[in-house]
Structure 1
C-alpha cells in the first residue's frame, strides 16, 4: 500500500516538482528531457500549450530563453515570455522585419486614418460655413428678384406676379453646393 502512494504521488506532481499537472512542461516535453523541480520554463510553458514553446524555441532557442529568464526578475518573467512568443510569431510571419514590420504597418495605417480624418473635418467645416451663409444668400437672391420687375417675356414671370420657390435660386448659386452624392 505504501508503494502505491509513492507511485501515485510521483506521477501526479511530475517528478516531485509540486506542479498540478501529471506531465512535464511543454518545454521539457519538446526538448525530451526530464522536467525537474527547478525547471525555470515550467510556469510559463504549460503542457497543454506546446505550440507556444515550439515557436519561441524555433526562433530564440531553449538555452537563450533560459538565459533571458534568469536575467529577469521573477515578477516580470511572464511578460518577457509573452513578448518572446509574440516576437517569435512575428518573425515566423515576416522573417526580415518581425515586430518592426508590424509597427511600421500600423504607423502607416495611423497616418492614413489621420489624413482621412483631417479631410473629413475640413469638409464638415465647409458644410457648416455653407449652412451658416445660406440665409444671407437666400435674402440676397430674393432682394435682387424684387428689384428687377419681370416682364411677360421673362420665363419667371407669372400671371399673378408670384414667384416659384425654385426661381429664387439662380444658376450662379448652384455651383456653391459642397456636397455631392457619389
Structure 2
C-alpha cells in the first residue's frame, strides 16, 4: 500500500498528488516516489551524471529519513540523477556525510506523472521511517510534502515525522 504525502498548509504549488511505495529488502530500502497531476508546472532539475551532491533540497527533491540507535540518516534523491546521504547524531545536530549510498536512481517523466525509484543502503539498526518531498514550481514557489506535519512550519527532521516502522520481523 503506498503512503500518501500531505502538503504543508503554509506551502503553495502545483496541483499534484504525491505517493510513495516502499519496501524493506534486507539491508536496503526500495522506494518509488510518484507525483501525479500538473507535473508540467514543476521545475525539474536538469539531468546530470549520477553521484553524490549536496544541497539537493534547494530544488525539487525526494527525501527519506531513517532513525538509528545513534541518531538518524537523511537521504536526498534528485530527478537530476544525483543523491546525498547525511548522518545526524541528534535533532538537526552533527550533520556529516553518511557512508550509506543510493543505487539504481531511475526517474521517469510522462505528461501527467513523474516517478522515481531507488535502492537505499540502510544503516545498522534502522528503526522508523519518514518520507518527504520538496516541490519547486516554475514561478519559484515551494511546496513541502510529508507523511505528517507536526509543526507550524515545514520540518522534515522533526522527531514526530518518523512514523513508519522499518524494523525487521524477528
Q: TM-score, normalised by structure 1?
A: 0.17
Q: Which has the higher helix share?
A: 1
More strand by share: 2
TM-score by length of 2: 0.18
